[in-house]
Amino acid sequence: MTLSGYEALFFWIFALAAIFAGLLTVMARNAVHSALFLISSLVSVAALFVLARAEFIAGVQILVYVGGVMVLFLFVIMLVNVGAEERGSEEIFNNQRQVAASLIFCLLLVGGVLYSVNRGYQGLQEQHKLTPEVAAVQEAIRNQSLTASATGSSRMTTDSESLAGSLYRYASLPFEIASVLLLVAIIGSVMLARTLRQEASADDLGPEVLEEEIVRDPELAKLEPQSE
C-alpha cells in the first residue's frame, strides 16, 4: 500500500495533526482542553482510516468517539470539576523522578519500536515486491469494476458491504457477545454512579450500613418507607 499525490499530502497533514493533538491532550493543563484535543486527534485518525480505504470504520470512529465517549468525558469533567488545576495551584504531573523515569521508558520504547518497524517492513517488502506505479495501475483496474457514483466523477466502494458480510458471516458470535458487554457496561455504570440516597431509596444498602449512615444523615430514614 502506497499513497501518492494528494493522498500523500493529506496523509502527512492528518498524521501530524493526530500526533500534535495527542501530545497536547497529555500536556494541557485544563481537562476540558484535553478532551477537545483528544477529539481532534481522533478525527485526524479517522481521516487516516479514510486514506486507508476503511470508510465505514472512519464513520463509526467519529460517531462513537465524538458523539458518545467525548460527551461522557465532558459531563464527568463538569461533575468533578475541582478548578485547582486551571488556576495553576496544583501540579498536573507526578513528581519529577516518576516523570523522568517514565519519559526514559517512553524514549526506549520509541527507539525500539521505530527500529523494529523499519527492519520488519524491509522483510515484508522483500516478500511482496510492488512499486507504487504498479500498485496504482492495479488499483485503477480494480476500481473499474465498481459502480460509478451519481455524479460520475468517482466510484462507490464496497468497503461497508465486505465488512458487513464478514462481520455477520464469520464473527456473529463475537458480535452478540459485544452487545452483551455493552449492556453490562450500561447497567454497571448506572449502578456505580448512584448516590447514597439513591441506593437507600432502592433498598440496596445493607441494614448495618444503613444504620450507620442514618446517624450521619437523618434524612435517609425518611427515604426508607418508600422502598417498603
Partner 1 sequence: MIMFNLISPTLAFLFQEAPRSGFEQIKYSAQNPDLAKFLVIGALLFIIGVAGVLTRRNIIVIFMSIELILNAANLNFIAFSRYLSLTGDPDAVAGQIFTVFVIVVAAAEAAIGLGIVIALYRNKETIWVDEIDLLKW
Report d(CA 62, CA 43) in Å as an integer. Answer: 6
Among residues 40, 59, 66, 85, the one that binds partner 1 under rule CB under 8 A: 85
The residue assigned the cell 468517539 is 65
Per CB under 8 A, does 36 bind partner 1? no
- Residue 78 binds partner 1 (CB under 8 A): no
Residue 79 in contact with partner 1, rule: CB under 8 A: yes
Comparing CA positions, the residue from 31, 29, 34, 36 lying closest to residue 91 is 29
Assigned C-alpha cell, 55: 470508510
Whichever of 58 and 223 has its CB closer to partner 1, that residue is 58
Three-state DSSP class for 28? coil
Q: Where in 164-223 is the site for partner 1 (CB under 8 A)?
A: 166-167, 170-171, 174, 178, 181-182, 184-186, 188-193, 195-196
Least distance in angstroms from the C-beta of 152 to partner 1: 25
Start-to-end CA distance of the chain, whole Å, equals 66
Is 90 near partner 1 (CB under 8 A)?
yes
Classify 155 as helix, strand or coil: strand
CB 180, min distance to partner 1, A: 10
